[in-house]
Structure formats: structure tokens, C-alpha cells
Amino acid sequence: MTLVDAARSQTEMTNQDGEVIIRVRDLVVGFGEKLVMNRLNLDVYRGEVLGFVGGSGQGKSVLTRAILGLVPIRAGSIEIFGQNRNALDPAHRRALEQRWGVLFQNGALFSGLTVKQNIQMPMREMRQISQKLMDELAMLKIELVGLSIDAADKFPSELSGGMVKRAALARALALDPELLFLDEPTSGLDPIGAAEFDELISTLQHSLGLTVFMVTHDLDSLYSICDRVAALADGKVIAQGPLKNLLESPHPWLKAYFHGVRGGRLTSTFGDYRNS
Amino acid sequence: MSAESLQYPPEVSLAGVGRMSLSGDWTLAASRLLEINAQKIVEHGSHATSLIIDLQAVSHLDTAGAWVINRAQRELTQARISVALERIRPEYEAMLREAAYRDFHPPPRHRSPLIFDLLVDLGASVVGAFHDFYRGVAFLGEFVSTLAYVAANPKHFRFTALVSHIESIGLRSAPIIILINILVGAIVAQQGIFQLERFGASSLAVDLIGILVLRELGVLLTSIMIAGRSGSAITAEIGSMKMREEIDALRVMGLSANEVLIAPRVLALVCALPILTFIADMSALLGGMVVAWGYGDISPVAFLSLLKAAIAFRTFAVGLIKAPFMALVIGLIAAMDGLATEGSAESLGRQVTSSVVKSIFMVIVLDGLFAMFFAAINY
Ligand SMILES: Nc1ncnc2c1ncn2[C@@H]1O[C@H](COP(=O)(O)OP(=O)(O)OP(=O)(O)O)[C@@H](O)[C@H]1O
Ligand SMILES: [Mg+2]
């Protein structure tokens, strides 16, 4: 319980009310015989950036998809903005879905549309605004995520892997959502791009009051922008809280993750940085 | 930001000369109101010489809101009115900075007259048709050389793949082909009996059914059905593999798509189509026989003996000989169109359509050529 309390006080530093935006309780998800989530619990507070870590194939993407309602759940409950998505009628569900933006692990851009049209897709469907403003906003989003303007008229198959990530983020941000789901946003970006990306997320978080659920393997992102970190192993959240609590955790997987060859290098610099 | 935040629509209120204050949610959720109010800023502001915009009462601001405010400010500045934003909440400052107004110069899209475009399209499709033919012949050559290679190195051939494709193409198409051919046989018999009765020659309907079904209808219907059912599947499979770079992955492993993917599928078609044609022939005759019995009072025994007199083995052979060629055409067109798929889902759809249309067309053309050929050799 101490971990959760610590987490609360931590989020209260960034946000006063500490309102829970995503509440997952006793979630069970499986494919066939295999259970991927086994009575999993998770809270995400308003205004925080939650970093979600876990080994490959542990189910981070599946949890994200379950929260988004893309994977059927066997038991348990998921509440977003205090509402159970599955219990909502279509109109309210639509309203709920307009409040979040999603960046899929593989981008999932519409292959038949240009980058600009991809970004305008949600605007066109949900809002009545002039084509001129839509064009300008799409361009703004394209610049915001660090793409060059001439990428606007390219099709997804003409983009590099990193450009796909950025274009997909631009689309996720199209409606200025309150809640952003990012599945490995910085994988495939060069270190400079990844750092810019982190900065962008943190700017958006502060100015828009954005809540971010970010699946990541990027230790730098965890150190620089995540308010809290949750770790997934064996179908459960084995720890959640500020990074420093997880760094001190005795759990073997967390130890290997943060104090292994790669993690260790960064953790030591992080430690130096904290002590100074 | 959803419906509930619309409780506070964006508003502009004048607070004395050269001063206005904004309130409410300046977010994309306000939709049209956002643009309307931004226009108001410009209209009211254009009467003053300098303007102060007070942002204190803005309850929500997103990039769209920041953008329209910045844009209005820019328009006024261009009309030589100095504009200052005041009492900005600290968290919105970054937002306004991020969404600072800038001109985007999208690369100019070049437009040409419609008639010109139409002519270009027409020309391109004529050239494309020739190009397609050329590519088809080249592809056939490649396929034959793959077959020769496989024949020389039978170890390389994927027999399991061949068998599984024969199952999915052949076995699983059998029910629908049986059904369609029974119906067509029945219809031909009914029409034949009905029309020939007037001449008192209803027993000639059996000749009609026998020759028409065995020489032409059986193989043609089967080929068209397979072009629609299996040709499209082959194009879609190979096309989506092309889209996800799976074909490239094969190539860099030193494997050829022709050998691994295309040869087993086309060969499976070549094996399956004659068998299916035979099944189709039998079902159509069965359909014809049943109708002849019920509608034309020709008993099955009589039907069979009339049929025996009407047809020779060659009638039956003509239909079957055509089948493998039809299969080859369908398979090659399907594979070629699959490989021509580009990156987008639309392109895949286009290729599948084109594959089905082209192979049905080619099947009919080929049937015509065969008819001429058999007539010339008196077979
Ligand atoms: N549609 C599916 N059918 C069956 N099993 C699935 C399905 N989707 C995912 N899984 C399984 O669920 C487990 C979790 O997958 P998931 O994609 O969530 O991993 P992950 O934690 O996101 O890994 P990574 O870090 O590599 O992206 C894996 O073992 C995977 O095989
Ligand atoms: Mg994943």
C-alpha cells in the first residue's frame, strides 16, 4: 500500500486533485488457454505521465488494447474517466473515444490516405470546421511532432519508420485529447528525435493537462518525463510508483531491468544526477 | 474535450476601447464557434489602433484555440494594429508559443484541364494494356523456367504447399461448383425442351445439353467461378505479403517468390481445374437429366441412351483439354497482379478487382480461340 500512497503524493505534486483517470481492477485477459493478464490492477492519475514497462511479450500492448476496448476481457473492470466503456451506449462511447488519442505500436496509419489526410480524419468526422482551419491545424500538428512540411502529402508507404511514428503521433493529437496512449513511441527514433519527442510530450502534458499512458522500453524517457512507472510481469503489475521506488525494489525482474548492463549504466548517472 | 466541456462556449466581450476579453473554452470541441469567435476578434479589433486581449477568463485552451487566437492577432498586426495578449495563464503560455502563427507553404499542386487529364488517362491505359501483355508473357517465361528448375531439382519443390492449395482451391470449391452446374444444366434442359417441343423434337434437347455442357459450359463456368473465388484469393494473399515486405524478406533469403509462393499455387490450379471441370460436367448432366425426366418425360434410361448417341469421347475431351490452360491463365494473372501491389490497402483492392476482371475476360477470350482452333482441325 505504501507504494500506492507514495504514488498519490507524487501525482499530487503535479496535480492537486489526484483524480483517477484509468482504473483497472482484477482484469483477466487471455487468448485460448493462456492468460495474459491475471487479476491485474492499475491506476492512472490525471495529469501524469505513466511509464509502463515489462518484458517483451508480457502483455503491455494487450493491456493497452484491453483498456481501449479492442480486446475482450474475461473478468474485472476497466473505468476510464469514471465510466465503464462497455456499459455505455454508442453516443456516450463515441464521446468518450473522442477524449483520447492513441499511438499504436506499428503506427496503424491509413495506408490509402496522405499524412495530412490521416491527421484530418478524426477532425473531419467529429467537428465542423472549415477546410482551411483543418489544413492549418494539420500542418501545425505535423510541425509540432517534428516532421517536415513536405511529408504532409506523402503516403504512409513512402515514410521511414521514424516518420511513421511521428505521423501517427500527429494523428493521435489531432483532437487535442485529454488522454494519450502511446505504445513504444520512441522506438525507431534517433536519440535526438527521441529527446525532442520526450520534450514534446512534457510540453503537452503541462500546457494541455494531458494524461499520458506510455508503454516504453526507453530508459531515457522513463527518467526524463515519467511521473510514475508501472511494471508488468506474469500478468500482474508488480510495482507502481515513482521511478526511485522502482529502482530500489528487490523484485528480481526489476533488478535485472534497471541494474542490468544497459539499465545500470543509466541508473548510475541518474543516481549521480539525483544526488547532486 | 467532449460535449460536456461545451458548457462554456468560447466568447469574445468588449471591455472598453481597444480592449477585449476572451472567455470560455477555446478548444476544438467548440467546432464552428471557434472560428466564428476568432473572426469576431478581427472584426472588433479592426476599429481600434491598438488592442489588448485579456485571456484571464479562458477556461480551456488547446492548440486549435491557440492557433486561431494567434491567427487573429497576426491578421490585425498585418492591418497595422498592435495587439498584445494579456494575463495569460502560465500553462497556456507554452501552448500559445507552440501554436505560434506561421505561414505554411505547401508545395503547389499542379492542375491541368479535365480533358487533358482524360486523354492522358486514356493513353496511359492503352500503353498499360500493352505493358500488361508484355509483362504477362515475361512472367509466363519466368514461371516456365521456375518449373524447369523445379523439375530438375524436385527436392526444392513444396509438395505440402501444393497439396494444401489443391485442397483450398479444389476441394473447397467443389460444393458451389456442383450447385451452380446442376442449376445451369437444369435451366438449359428446361429451355431446350420448351423451345424444341414446338418442332416435336424435344428429345434433341438431350443433344443440346450434352454438347453445350461438355464442350463449353462446364469448363467456362468452372473457370469463371475459380477466377472469382481462388484467383482473387491468390492476388490478395500475394498482394498483402508484398505490402508487408514479406516478398522482399524471401528475396533477401535467396528464395524466389516464384518458386515458393507462385509455383505451388498455379500448379494447384492446373491440377484442380480439370477435376473440377469433370465434376461440373457431371453435375450439369445430372441437373439436365432430372429436368428432362420431370418436365420432358424423358426417363433417365432414355436420357442416357440419347446422350450416348449424341456425344463422342472427343466432346468430353474438348472441354477437359481447355481446363489446364484456363487454370494457367487465371493463376498467372492472379500472381502477377498480386506482385504489382503497392503500399496501400486501396492498391490491394484495385489489384484484386483487376485480377478477377482480367482473368474472366481472358478465360472467355481463350475459350473463343479454342473454339476456332477445334473448328479448324475439325475436332
Ligand atoms: N491476438 C492474439 N492472439 C493470441 N495471442 C496473442 C494475441 N495478441 C497477443 N498475444 C499474446 O499475448 C502476449 C502479450 O503480447 P503483447 O503484444 O501485449 O506483448 P508486449 O508486452 O507488448 O511486447 P513488446 O514489448 O514486444 O511489444 C504475447 O505472448 C502474445 O503472443
Ligand atoms: Mg507491444
CATH number at residue A81: 3.40.50.300
Among residues B295, B330, B281, B274, the alpha carbon closest in space to that of B180 is found at B281
- Taking an 8 Å cut-off on Cβ atoms, the answer to whether A136 and B342 are in contact is no
Q: Of A123, A206, B75, B20, which is closest to residue B10 (Cα–Cα)? A: B20
Q: Is residue A78 a contact partner of residue A84, using CB atoms and an 8 Å limit?
A: yes
Ligand nearest to the CA of A218: 1
Q: Which of A130-144, A181-195, B87-101, B168-182 has the highest mean pLDDT?
A: B168-182
Per-residue pLDDT tens over the stretch B325-351: 999 999 999 999 999 998 888 899 999
Alpha helices in chain B (DSSP H): 32-45, 63-78, 90-98, 114-152, 159-169, 174-196, 204-211, 218-226, 232-243, 246-252, 257, 263-296, 300-310, 313-339, 345-376
Residue A178 DSSP one-character state: S
Question: Band of the pLDDT at B107, cuts 50, 70, 90?
Answer: low
Q: Residue B51 forms beta bridges with which residues?
A: B83
Q: For the segment B28-51, what is each residue's pLDDT rounded down to a tens digit?
A: 888 788 888 888 888 888 887 888
Nearest residue of B to residue A145, measured between CA atoms: B98
Answer yes or no: is pLDDT of A9 > 80. Answer: no
**One-letter amino acid identity for B144?**
V
Atom of ligand 1 nearest to the CA of A62: 18
Q: Which ligand is nearest to the CA of A58?
A: 1
Query: What mean pLDDT comes out for the span A241-250?
Result: 87
Cell of A211: 494524461
Which residue out of A28, A61, A73, A183 has the highest number of ligand 1 atoms within 8 Å of its CB and is therefore the one to mutate? A61
Distance from CA of A135 to the nearest CA of B (A): 9
Q: Where in chain B is the domain with CATH 3.30.750.24?
A: 5-98
pLDDT, residue B179, reads: 96
Residue with cell 490450379: B269
Distance, CA of B41 to CA of B68 (rounded, Å): 10
Condensed to tens digits (0 to 9), the pLDDT of residues A213-241 reads: 999 888 888 888 899 999 998 888 998 88
Q: Residues of A with CB below 8 A from B63's CB?
A: 137, 140-141, 144, 173, 176, 208
Record: contact A176-B62, CB cut-off 8 A: yes
Of A39, A66, A25, nearest in space to A181 by CA: A66
Enumerate residues lining ligand 1, CB below 6 A: A 31, 36, 54, 56-62, 105
Is A219 part of a structural domain of the chain? yes
Residue numbers of the domain that contains A87? 3-99+177-275
CB A179 within 8 A of CB A85: no
Say what percent of chain B tops pLDDT 90: 50
Q: Give the pLDDT band (50/70/90) at residue A63.
A: very high
Residue of A nearest to B101 (CA): A140
For residue B219, the tally of other CB atoms under 10 A from its CB is 29
Residue B210 predicted with pLDDT over 50: yes
Check pLDDT > 90 for residue A50. Answer: yes
Strand B11-14 to B19-26 pairing? antiparallel
Looking at residue B143, its amino acid is F
CATH 3.30.750.24 for the B5-98 domain, yes or no: yes
Single-letter amino acid, residue B116: F
- Of chain B residues 35-94, which have a CB less than 8 A from chain A? 35, 61-64, 67-68, 71, 91-94
Q: Report pLDDT for A270.
A: 63
Q: Residue B378: what pLDDT?
A: 84
Does residue A171 lie in a domain region?
Answer: no
ipTM for the whole complex: 0.75
Q: Is B332 on the interface with A (CB under 8 A)?
A: no
Which residue from A36, A65, A106, A183 has its CB within 8 A of the most atoms of ligand 1, so it is best to mutate?
Answer: A36
Q: Over range B139-151, report the average pLDDT.
A: 90
Say whether pLDDT at B219 is over 90: yes
CB contact under 8 A, B342 and A152: no
A207, A210, A211: best to mutate for the B interface, most B CBs within 10 A = A207
| Closest residue in A to B2 (Cα–Cα) | A95
Which three three-digit cell numbers place residue B330?
487465371
Distance from CA of A237 to the nearest CA of B (A): 30
- C-alpha–C-alpha distance, residues B53 and B70, integer Å: 11
The alpha carbon of residue B139 and the mean position of all alpha carbons in its chain are separated, in whole angstroms, by 22
With 70 as the cut, is the pLDDT of residue A95 above it?
Answer: yes
pLDDT of residue A17: 54
Name the packing angle between helices B313-339 and B263-296 (round to 10°): 140
Comparison of pLDDT for B8 and B355, the residue scoring more: B355
Residue A130: per-residue pLDDT:
86
Instruction: Indicate if the pLDDT at residue B256 is higher than 90.
Output: no
The CA-atom distances, in angstroms, between B266 and each of A19, B146, B254, B259 are: 61, 12, 21, 10
- Cell digits for A12? 499530487
Cα of B35 to nearest chain A Cα, Å: 7
Stretch B224-248: mean pLDDT: 93
The three three-digit cell numbers of residue B24, written as one number? 470560455
| Region at B376 (left for phi over 0; alpha for psi -120 to 50; beta for the rest) | alpha
Question: What number is the average pLDDT over the span B90-100?
Answer: 81
Binning pLDDT at 50, 70 and 90, where does residue B299 land?
very high
Q: Which of A67, A83, A72, A74 is nearest to A24 (CA)?
A: A67
pLDDT category of residue A16 using cuts at 50, 70 and 90: very low
Residue A179 makes CB contacts below 8 A (sequence gap 6+) with A21, A22, A80, A81, A99, A100, A101, A210, A211, A212, A213
Q: Where are the alpha helices (DSSP H) in A145-251?
A: 161-172, 191-208, 219-225, 243-247
Residue A106 lies in a domain: no
B344 touches chain A (CB under 8 A): yes
- 10 Å CB burial of residue B152 (0-12, 13-18, 19+) is exposed
| CA dist., res. A136 & res. A119, Å (int) | 11
Instruction: For A111-146, write each residue's pLDDT tens digit.
Output: 888 999 999 988 887 777 888 888 889 999 898 888
In one letter, which amino acid is B13? S
Q: What is the DSSP string of A118-147?
A: HHHHHHHHH----HHHHHHHHHHHHHHTT-
Among chain B residues, CA nearest to A203: B94
Q: CA-CA-CA-CA torsion for A127, A132, A138, A144, nearest 10 degrees?
A: -120
Q: A15 versus B88: which is more confidently predicted?
A: B88
- Helices H / strands E in chain A, number of each: 11, 10
Report the separation in Å between the CA atom of A58 and the middle of ligand 1, taken as the mean of its atom positions.
7
d(C-alpha A209, C-alpha A201), whole Å: 11
Any chain B CB within 8 A of the CB of A136?
A: yes
Three-state SS sequence of A36-95: EEEEEEEEEECCCEEEEEECCCCCHHHHHHHHHCCCCCCEEEEEECCEEHHHCCHHHHHH
Distance A2 CA to ligand 2 centre (A): 29
Mean pLDDT across chain A:
83
pLDDT digits (tens, 9 = 90+) for A144-182: 888 888 889 999 988 988 889 889 999 998 888 889 999
- Measured CA to CA, the distance from residue B101 to residue B344 in angstroms comes to 34
CA distances from B159 to A15, B164, B265, B275 (A): 65, 9, 11, 18
Residue B81, classed as helix, strand or coil, is coil
Does the beta-carbon distance from A156 to B104 stay under 8 Å? no
- Asked if pLDDT for residue A272 goes beyond 70, the answer is no
3-state secondary structure (DSSP) of residue A176: coil
Looking at the 3D structure of chain A, how many domains does it have?
A: 1
Res A11 pLDDT > 70: no
Q: Which residue has the higher pLDDT, B286 or A150?
A: B286
Cell 498519490 sits at which residue? Answer: A8
Report the gap between the CA of A162 and the closest CA in chain B (Å). Answer: 17
The bound ligand whose nearest atom lies closest to the alpha carbon of A33 is: 1
Give distance in angstroms: CA of B120 to centre of ligand 1: 49
With CA atoms as reference, the chain A residue closest to B32 would be A129
Average pLDDT (A90-96) is 84
In a domain? residue A120: no
- CA-CA distance, B350 to B372, in Å (whole number)? 33
Identify the pLDDT of residue B324: 96
Q: Measured between alpha carbons, how far apart are the two ends of chain B, in Å?
A: 77
- On whether the pTM is more than 0.90, the answer is no
Q: What is the mean pLDDT of residues B276-280?
A: 96
